Homo-oligomer: A and B are copies of this chain.
Amino acid sequence: MLRYLTAGESHGKGMVAILEGIPAGLRVFEEKINLELGRRKWGYGRGKRMEIEEDKVEILSGVRKGITLGSPISLLIQNKDYRIEELPSLVCPRPGHADLVGALKYNTRDIRNVLERASARETVARVTVGAVCKLLLWEFKIEIISHVIQIGKIKIENKDLGFEKIKNLAEKSPLRCIDKSAERKMLAEIDKAREKKDTLGGVFEVIVKGVPPGLGSFMQYDLRLDGRLAQAIMAIPSVKAVEIGEGLINSGLLGSQVHDRIYYEKKRGFYRKTNHAGGLEGGITNGEPIIIRGYMKPISTLMIPLDSVNVVTKEAEKAAVERSDICVVPAGGVIGEAVSAFEIARCLREKLGGDSLSEMKRNYQAYMHILKNF
């Protein structure tokens, strides 16, 4: 049973995660996790905080001589910008952020007390958790990438480039965008927003390759992998919509246009020629790549602040201005990869059982053998 908790405030000592259920025998190195933290930090449109923070993980437990022990893996990312004790109180909530609702819920008039945890900085912890899960998935040839398909009003042109090409192009782009022409326009949009002291949202797409059929289950609503992924993606700050496969377009089409016909070849087993379903049928993986999109609203902290109310005086005032980003959609994708990695690894653990990587692999191979000879 894979599960995790995170802790940490934006300007606290650091971000912490405990990830439980990773089998014994997996190679885990801090460098690998740091790569993911670097991918999260990077991207045009990020604010000054990204320059301050180094985002290096320290593995506190669960690993010995570079190999997991099967014990909980605890991960610490220290904040360079640790000053939560000195930071001034804040009384004008930013619309779109958790500031006001958090103050009401937790009964505090110093919004600092809630925004520190509500901050998207928490996602560094989720990214470290996801990085470890990715290492596990990699042992089963499951790979996860993301790219940006929209920023502001600029959308990429849909070209079916294939997994490797998308991966390579995305990693090289400052916006994780695989369409050079769209990228140029996106960069310009971000510059424009910066000038206006405004912010931008957009859409990222996560693609998971190599997932075997049969992960997730329709037997109970909370076992469906589509539902779990939707929760994971929607729980990323700023995400307000989630789409699996061609979910939006499909809602306007006929059944005969949508469903991925089934074919069989002895060598390949069952396969599809299309993947409108985004790799999930009935809440279960069907062996095609999982495709999931997160729609992000623009960042809530604007340099030209919006109308707000001082929670102490109740007078109209402008919202607080915290140092922030202009656009974080590329980071959204990297976080999307991480939380997807966790959910898929969780289903894989449920399917395969096992306490060591070798045991998981043995069970995996036996399952793949059955599938092949089904």
Distance in angstroms from A255 CB to nearest chain B CB is 3
Please tell me the number of chain A residues within 8 Å of chain B, measured between CB atoms. 160
Docked complex: A241-273 residues within 8 A CB-CB of B = 241-248, 250-264, 266, 270, 272
Asked if A235 is at the interface of the complex by the 8 Å CB criterion, the answer is yes
Asked if A193 is at the interface of the complex by the 8 Å CB criterion, the answer is yes
CB-defined contacts of A253 to chain B, threshold 8 Å? 152, 201, 298
Residue of B nearest to A352 (CB): B353
CB-defined contacts of A156 to chain B, threshold 8 Å? none
Distance in angstroms from A235 CB to nearest chain B CB is 3
Asked if A153 is at the interface of the complex by the 8 Å CB criterion, the answer is yes
Cα A355 to Cα B237 with chains together (Å) = 21
CB-defined contacts of A14 to chain B, threshold 8 Å? 60-61
CB-defined contacts of A358 to chain B, threshold 8 Å? 107
User: Mask for A162-176, Cβ within 8 A of B = 1, else 0?
Assistant: 000000000000000
Summarize A's interface: helix, strand, loop or mixed.
Answer: mixed
Distance in angstroms from A353 CB to nearest chain B CB is 3
Are B118 and A218 touching (Cβ within 8 A)?
A: yes
Binds B, one of A1-9, A29-37, A131-139: A1-9
CB-defined contacts of A235 to chain B, threshold 8 Å? 221-222, 224, 226-227, 230, 283
Asked if A351 is at the interface of the complex by the 8 Å CB criterion, the answer is yes
Cα A160 to Cα B58 with chains together (Å) = 51
Cα A217 to Cα B104 with chains together (Å) = 12
Partner of A243, one of B97, B221, B227, B240: B240
Q: Which 10 A-B pairs give the minimum distances between C-beta atoms?
A: A98-B282, A353-B353, A240-B247, A241-B247, A227-B235, A199-B255, A96-B259, A230-B234, A105-B214, A255-B298
What are 9 A-B contacts with C-beta separation under 8 Å? A96-B281, A98-B282, A201-B253, A228-B231, A240-B244, A240-B251, A258-B297, A263-B316, A270-B309
Contacts A150-B251, A359-B366 supplied; 9 other A-B pairs, CB < 8 Å: A16-B16, A64-B84, A105-B213, A107-B359, A202-B252, A241-B242, A255-B297, A263-B309, A266-B314
